[in-house]
Structure 1
Amino acid sequence: MQDRRQSPRDKVFYGAVAEINERGSTMDCVVRNISDHGACVEFGDATRLPEEMNLNIARKGRSFLARLVWRQANKVGLAFRIMTSDTPVSDLDERVRRSEIKKRQLQQRIKELLGQG
C-alpha cells in the first residue's frame, strides 16, 4: 500500500481528548503517531465519531481541528485542518478542563436523581 502522507509521522503515545460536538462532549483517546498534517488516534469506541472534531493534546500543548480520513476498528486517521492553539497548556488550563468535565458529570447525575425521585 502506497503511503500518501505529506510528511512522515513520528510514533508517539500521547493521551488526548477529542471534542466531538458543539455541546462540549469529549472522548479520551491515545495518539499513536503524529505529523504536522495528521495523526493516527485510538479510541475506546470509534463508532460515534463525527467527520470533524477538535483534538487536544495536553502534552504537546496544542489543539487541532481535524477531519476524519479513515477508520479501522477503534483507530482513525485524522488530517489536521488548522492549528487552533500554539501555546503550552498550563496546569491551570488542565485543572479547568477537568473541572468542567466533572461539572458535566455531576449535572448528569443530578438529572438522574431528580428523574428517579
Structure 2
Amino acid sequence: MPDGAPSDDPPSDGAGGQRRSQRRRVLLSGKLVHSPSELTVDCAIQDISAAGARVRLPPDTLLGEPIFLINMSHGLAFRARVAWRKENRAGLEFTRYFDLHKADEAAPRVLRRLWLEHIR
C-alpha cells in the first residue's frame, strides 16, 4: 500500500502497534466538515487521543479532502486525514487543532459557526 493511503484496518494497540499516543474510549457528539464545498455529516467520536480519533459514520458516507472533525462537546476542531476505514468506522489522524471558544483566522469560519449553533 502506498504511504499516506488509508488502510482497511485500524492500528493495533499492542507493543508492535502504530499508535503514537494513548487513546481514551469516549462517546462524544462530533461533526465532520469535508470537501472544498464544506459538506457536513454528524458522527460519533468513539475514542480520541492527541494524535487522532476513531469515529462512527452513517453507512456509505463518502469523505473528501480537506477533513475537519469538530468535537461538539468540548469546542475543539481538528484538521485530519483518514488513516484507515472499515465499514462505518474511520480512523482519523490529526494534523492541526483549533480552539473554537475563540476566533482563529487560520480556522475555516464554518467550524466555529457550526459549534456556536450547537451550543445555543
RMSD of aligned C-alpha atoms?
Answer: 2.6
Report the TM-score when normalising by structure 2.
0.69
Unaligned runs of at least 5 residues, structure 2:
1-11, 103-111
Q: Which amino acid aligns with 1:94?
A: L
CA distance in 1, matches of 2:31, 2:115: 13
Higher fraction of helix: 1
Say whether residues 1:10 and 2:24 are aligned partners.
yes
What is the number of equivalent residue pairs in this alignment?
96
Report the TM-score when normalising by structure 1.
0.71
Number of the residue aligned with 2:34 = 20
For residues 22-77 of structure 1, give each alpha carbon's deviation from its aligned partner in whole angstroms, at most 9, with x where no partner exists. Answer: 22210000000000000000101254112540111111210000000100110000
Contact 1:11/1:34 (<8 A) preserved:
yes
Relative contact order, CA 8 A, sep 6+: which one is greater?
2
**Bigger Cα Rg:** 1
Segments ≥4 residues shifted beyond 6 Å = none
Give percent identity, aligned residues only. Answer: 29
Number of the residue aligned with 1:86 = 99
Number of the residue aligned with 1:61 = 75
Unaligned runs of at least 5 residues, structure 1:
99-117
